[in-house]
Amino acid sequence: MSEQQQRRKLERDINAAISWSGRSLTTIYAGISILHRDYEDSRAAIAFRNSAYLFDYIVFDLPAESSNTPVHTICNQIISELRTYSEKQKIKIVGLAMPLSLADKYRPLCPQLWRELDILPLVLEHKERARADADQGELATFASWNTKELDEQADSMVRKCMRSFGVGHVLQGEIGLGSLVGVDRNFRVRLADLDDYQETVNNRTWSIAQHYAEELKRRNVKIAFFSLSSHGRPDIHTRHSLVRFLRCLGVNVQWYVPKPRPGINGIIRKMQDSLEGLCARDDPITIDEEMCILQWVYENARRYWLCEDDPLQARSKGGADIVVIDDVPLTPAALLSKQTDPGRPVIFENRLQVQRSALQDARNFSTQEQLLFRETSF
């Protein structure tokens, strides 16, 4: 059996193991903490919460890490405990939070939680001090972390885990300062590591990816993506995946979205429909509507993208080395990028899906629309 066939068989076995066809499961969250003892077995606690209260926790021993007990063995035991509890109680664990120190010590644990149990692993940095006003919500601060009992530490983790999920137990999006998209809760969710990515492709493909990543890192290239939104469209998920992968490779990449404005969504939808040939002939986009989009993009750029070290600023002033624009309404950002740094590469990714009938019947496009289409199809 070839390596690829073995990998596919493993994927089928995993899918069969985690598939569910019984009654609806109770959805809960979990938090884990581990007490390490010198020359002795460690003690682990996992707390479980639903949307209202803490209702259960488990405590178990873990073998001390040694040459006879590698990290994978310890991770497998944690996975086994979670699987056993989930099957016995007929529950679905959506997310599990853990301290950063634990995630760094047992690096295979996070990808294994996602791959085998369909659990989102959330890694939280914690500080040994009281919370300050400037602390972010996802920064766990504990003035007496080491004095807490093990189950209390696990409960602290699960309470902070719940804050990252919204309606329908879906991970909330995060837009930070400067309209910067925080993918995976600003990379606090660790779904995979480089080994997991490498297993999905052959050696030649992986070598090519490594070559270009090393070249980008050697030259310290900064890449900036610009999109209308960080959610809601099927193609947006590929941007999340790309940023996540580049982050694992160590490439400097940032993703930006503009702040919304009242009434702008309707104009954007009308522009896209017009360019794709879906707009009515007697209702073309007007000059005033185009100016509204231009003003909106310029205002976002002035406030968030053109200051010192911002992405559209000149490269000599800390701006991005490569600008990638995903959507037609944001093409004015390309002009701003060229004005501040004429030699900087700007890539436009055309996501328009022009109707065949519209291309065959040029009368569906006004002269104004034809000019706009040519300008945005470079």
Mean pLDDT of 276-301: 83
Mean pLDDT of 261-288: 79
Q: Which of 184-193, 214-223, 359-368 has the lowest mean pLDDT?
A: 359-368
What are the tens digits of pLDDT across the range 117-171? 999 999 998 766 666 767 666 565 665 677 778 888 899 899 999 988 988 888 8
CA distance 313 to 305: 7
pLDDT of 376 strictly over 60? no
Mean pLDDT of 15-22: 60
CA distance 301 to 298: 5
Beta carbons of 274 and 369 less than 8 angstroms apart: yes
A 10 A CB-CB count for 344 gives: 17
Domain 194-358, CATH class in plain words: alpha beta
pLDDT: which is higher, 13 or 360:
13
**Architecture of 26-172 per CATH?**
2-Layer Sandwich (3.30)
Q: What pLDDT score does 325 carry?
A: 92
At residue 13, the 3 state secondary structure works out as: helix
Q: Which of 11-20, 172-181, 269-278, 364-373 has the lowest mean pLDDT?
A: 364-373
Q: What pLDDT score does 328 carry?
A: 85
| All structural domains of the chain with their residue ranges | 26-172, 194-358
Q: What pLDDT score does 37 carry?
A: 75
Percentage of the residues of the chain whose pLDDT score is greater than 70: 80
CA distance 293 to 291: 5
- List strand residue ranges (DSSP E) for 318-368, in order: 322-325, 346-348
Mean pLDDT of 313-335: 91
Q: What pLDDT score does 129 carry?
A: 63
- List strand residue ranges (DSSP E) for 106-236, in order: 120-124, 126-127, 140-141, 222-226
pLDDT of 299 strictly over 90? yes
* pTM: predicted TM-score of the whole model, two decimal places: 0.80
